[in-house]
Structure 1
Amino acid sequence: MTPRLFVVSGPSGVGKGTLVERLRERRPDLGLTVSATTRDPRPGEVPDVSYHFLSNEEFDRLVDEGAFVEWAQYGSNRYGTLRSEVQKNLEVGHSVVLEIDVRGGLNVKRLFPDAAVLVFIEPPSREELEHRLRHRGTEDEERIQVRLAQVAREYEAAKAYDAAIVNDDLERATAELAELVQAEESK
């Protein structure tokens, strides 16, 4: 088995987190990095489990040190994946799953061209995506509109991805993702 770096991306509300969670239930050996962020924790989030919650100063220092394989700013907050978390998994022979945006995914592919496999998760339709965003109750109307406007840009960038999975049925999409992981590790 060849350890790989699986990047799972897609529009907000498409179910990336749920798919990655289900994949890890099937494959607990897969490494999963904890992203860093400058935003405040949401109810129920646990520091260093949900995210590494950092101050702006700490985040700036890590950017300057080249500690991230990718990072991005959304609104007034930044998010990033620490290189150390990726490397420690790959070095011990564990494939890694990253749940990040398409721009970050393209950067990961640039940094790890032989190990990275980019997977774009698609909603069944734009209408279903909007429904999911509205019913999860985590954003106001303005933020929902910003997220919906991002969808076209994400689809354009995803043309450079290695695979796409439509999340119209959670069990089928999970099985498809697990099969893709297995096939790529077997190469």
Structure 2
Amino acid sequence: MARRGLLLVMSSPSGAGKTTLSRMLLAADSNITMSVSVTTRKPRPGEVDGRDYHFIAKDAFTAEAEAGGLLEWAEVFGNFYGTPKKPVEQALAQGRDVLFDIDWQGTQQLAEAMKDDLVRVFILPPSAEELHERLIRRNQDAASIVAKRMAEASREISHWAEYDYVIVNDDVDRAFAQIQAVLTAERLRRRRLTGLTQFVRDLTKGL
């Protein structure tokens, strides 16, 4: 049955597991695609331009934002991140879902632009201690950056009530199953089933 796609946002403080859960969902579900953000920060080890992010210069980012080509954008730790509008709108019209790994600021902007299409999930760590350990184990950031991310975590977590669903990631497989359940239910919402009216009309003709 024809349906309109949805925007699935997963937000969390750094280290809570949203990137891991996003990758698991993309591997398991062929009907959801990752929104590839543009950013002005430098690539981290292993990141590929066009797959993980579109890495662009600050002046190019500013020009895109001023032209209305971004659904949302934010500055995080001195770097800019944003979501290109055109590929998202095309995916929704084709009945494909789009996954977002963005923070609360971006989520608020996305809600203003496309509220009816949005499903918001916030990922929490099981404890502050575990969050700190995960950030250290990532071994991607200097100790000063880890400390900054821990300080920022409290402010990010304070926005949990703005989300539709909240999942505590104390076990990654359980958290993943809960995200899949959310996605299944949201895909069945009546307003997204664009082919439902015609289906029911055809069904009742045979009764």
TM-score exceeds 0.5: yes
Please say if 1:28 is aligned against 2:54. Answer: no
| TM-score (norm: length of structure 1) | 0.96
Structure 1 residue 2: Cα displacement: 4.1
Which of the numbers 4, 7, 19 marks the counterpart of 1:5?
A: 7
Q: Tell me the residue number matched to 2:109.
A: 107
Structure 1 unaligned segments of length 5 or more: list them: none
Is the 8 Å Cα contact of residues 109 and 118 (structure 1) preserved in structure 2?
no
Letter in 1 for 2:175: A
Relative distance call for 1:89 and 1:3 in structure 2 (3 A) is same
Which of the numbers 57, 60, 64 marks the counterpart of 1:58?
A: 60
Letter in 2 for 1:28: S
**Secondary structure in 1 aligned to 2:10?**
strand
The structure that has the greater radius of gyration is: 2
1:29-108 equivalent positions in 2, closer than 5 A: 29-108=31-110
Q: Tell me the residue number matched to 1:155.
A: 157
Stretches (4+) displaced over 6 A: none
Aligned counterparts of 2:104 and 2:160: Cα–Cα separation in 1 = 6
Structure 2 unaligned segments of length 5 or more: list them: 190-207
1:134-149 equivalent positions in 2, closer than 5 A: 134-149=136-151
Structure 1 residue 39: Cα displacement: 1.2
| TM-score (norm: length of structure 2) | 0.87
Structure 1 residue 83: Cα displacement: 1.0
Identity, % of aligned positions = 38
Give the CA RMSD over aligned residues: 1.1
Aligned counterparts of 2:102 and 2:163: Cα–Cα separation in 1 = 13
Please say if 1:17 is aligned against 2:19. Answer: yes
**Secondary structure in 2 aligned to 1:103?**
helix
Aligned counterparts of 2:57 and 2:78: Cα–Cα separation in 1 = 12
Structure 1 residue 85: Cα displacement: 2.2
Structure 1 residue 43: Cα displacement: 2.1
Relative distance call for 1:7 and 1:18 in structure 2 (3 A) is same
Aligned counterparts of 1:13 and 1:34: Cα–Cα separation in 2 = 20
